Structure 1
């Protein structure tokens, strides 16, 4: 038989070896009416595995078996019947396909293992950077470029096989095609790694993740260059998620670039603790402790220092809110309505949130 070609036009070489012994099996079945032996079935499975590993399509190989059946169809002289021969054909092809599928599953598992190992090395920076860059090409990333990482955290943990993961990945592929974007999961979170100059990809990922997880929170790290840059952007996104939790931020999409002031404030934890205790410590002397007055300051600053809006958020009358602000002034010596005092108070309030004070002693 002449050299075959796959349907996509790529030559894989002669495929007759995958029919080894097939004509003899049919002849034996036609002569005796027997079924295939265990060894014959195992040989069919082995040939199927070899064909899969060689990259041949199962469709073309089944067609090859049918062509061979037609070419070597046994005569009617033996004791076997046409039904018996057809049953043997079904056995042989089924065993061949089973071996083929077994090899395919093994290849998929190996690919998944390699992909997971690459993701772990990439996000934790545990591999040689040169070698990591070489492996990245296989998964569609060019690490010589700058990349940014977005991390989505939903109400439940997600892995690579979760419906949510597949839904978000399909949406990105449908929208952007091959943009050298990698969708994966890590520690139950959805992760998107994209070129740093393609912010629209990360924005679309955030939108899709938010919709698919029924209200997730997404953080986007800043673009960073090189293989190590992916790690830094990823860690920055994780830190942003943690920061949003501690500050009780409501925004569904948070960009690390917009929150740079907070890492600056927490860089010297002891200095921040001293500020919180010196400015807000006196509030602990109020009836009910510091908590109610601290929440009053938070609402007042979040409302843009508008008393009516702050009162509405706290479900208080404006008069009651004004009384609380006056009490804060009396205890701390700082007037929330005075622009000179306001910055110090607001910075201390942010520090209290970051340090979880007064619930946690500092």
Structure 2
């Protein structure tokens, strides 16, 4: 055979091999749910060489497979599908080697199988390693972008157009009505990953993974969620509460081995970009107010603390009110605290003495006696509608100022 004929024969054989490998690649891609055949690279050629000659892949060739693993991660192809692509390609290629299937020499077949399996093992391991590296980099990058986005959303003073574009990859529609919930652990957690993972699991399961963000800020866990996606939970007042999101969060966080007891504060729902910042400020202020009140309530609804926000904004006025309406109660036997507790329970139960007595674990006679003492010492009647408002505001103020455990601010303490 002349040299030209040999070259023509080699070219024909090479063309036939390329066509066979291309067909195998397409079939493997279909097996893996349409994973791009480009992610196979030269993998099929490595398998064919191993089957026919026993050649082991070189380091550079395996490094190229690792690059393909990184590319698969960047394209959003799952690990399972890209591995299925490689395994299916190996299986289908083996079926296209009739010289091995019809061989009567078992040692030849065994050697070929060993060489092919070595390539599969090395390539899939390198592929997974490259995929894992890329995924970790993507996660770190996404976490950085998420943290920066959350910071800007909660600050509320960033460029609206830029925020809309940055929020879109996270599935956040800034035109919707959102609310913000903050979860505070008993002490700062050394690692918040477990808490974030737990929250993401339950939040995404109940609310969906679009339009919801879970992150951390200043040692607190932050959840931004659309208000209309929160499962309704009507409270004792017969209305849907902004705290429903908080109860969902607290139930999950309470299962964690660290961080408890958790305290969750939920801001009111507000529309638009600036509504997120407003809801966050309400939740943060609710946490701070609860701390000032020494309240151990696990879930705090910001709307329930609005009265304290009003009172604390004018501290001299509330100090004056407590001084005028409640300091005379210090002259009662046992001091002012039992009388304050009675007023608090009485107002909380709508002025029902029997229910107040049950809450205080005292007799109804004790409650009525204390109400009489309050009237006599302060000059305000808890059963008079005009006096009741003054006394209730004063009780709220005393709680906010932690009086009588702490002296009133200013010279009139």
* TM-score range for the pair, normalised by the shorter chain length: 0.7 to 0.9
Gaps of 5+ in 2: 1-21, 233-241, 255-260
> How many equivalent residue pairs?
354
Which secondary structure does the structure 2 equivalent of 1:191 belong to?
A: strand
CA RMSD of aligned residues (A): 3.9
Distance 1:74-1:242 versus aligned 2 partners, 3 A rule: farther
**How far is 1:233 from its partner?**
1.1
Q: Which residue of 1 aligns with 2:198?
A: 164
Which secondary structure does the structure 2 equivalent of 1:336 belong to?
A: coil
Distance 1:155-1:270 versus aligned 2 partners, 3 A rule: same
1:306-343 per-residue CA deviation (whole Å, 9 max, x = no partner) reads: 33333333333333333333333333222333333222
**How far is 1:55 from its partner?**
4.9
Partner residue of 1:46 out of 44, 49, 67: 67
CA distance in 1, matches of 2:98, 2:60: 22
CA distance in 2, matches of 1:182, 1:54: 23
CA distance in 2, matches of 1:225, 1:114: 23
**1:250-261 to 2 correspondence within 5 Å?**
255-257=301-303, 259-261=305-307
Answer yes or no: is 1:82 the counterpart of 2:112. yes
Structure (1 or 2) with the larger CA radius of gyration:
2
Q: Which residue of 2 aligns with 1:146?
A: 177
Answer yes or no: is 1:129 the counterpart of 2:160. yes
**1:1-362 to 2 correspondence within 5 Å?**
1=22, 4=26, 12=36, 14-15=38-39, 17-19=41-43, 22-23=46-47, 26=50, 30=54, 38-55=59-76, 57-58=81-82, 59-68=84-93, 71=96, 81-82=111-112, 84-89=114-119, 90-125=121-156, 127-151=158-182, 159=192, 161-162=194-195, 164-173=198-207, 177=208, 180-186=210-216, 187-189=219-221, 191-194=223-226, 196-198=227-229, 200=231, 205-214=245-254, 219-244=265-290, 255-257=301-303, 259-361=305-407, 362=409
Whether the aligned pair in 1 keeps the contact of 2:319 and 2:397 (CA below 8 Å) is yes
Which secondary structure does the structure 2 equivalent of 1:144 belong to?
A: coil
CA distance in 2, matches of 1:107, 1:14: 21
Gaps of 5+ in 1: none
**How far is 1:14 from its partner?**
3.9
**How far is 1:229 from its partner?**
1.5
For normalisation by structure 1, the TM-score amounts to 0.78
**How far is 1:126 from its partner?**
6.1
For normalisation by structure 2, the TM-score amounts to 0.69
Deviates more, 1:246-255 or 1:225-234: 246-255
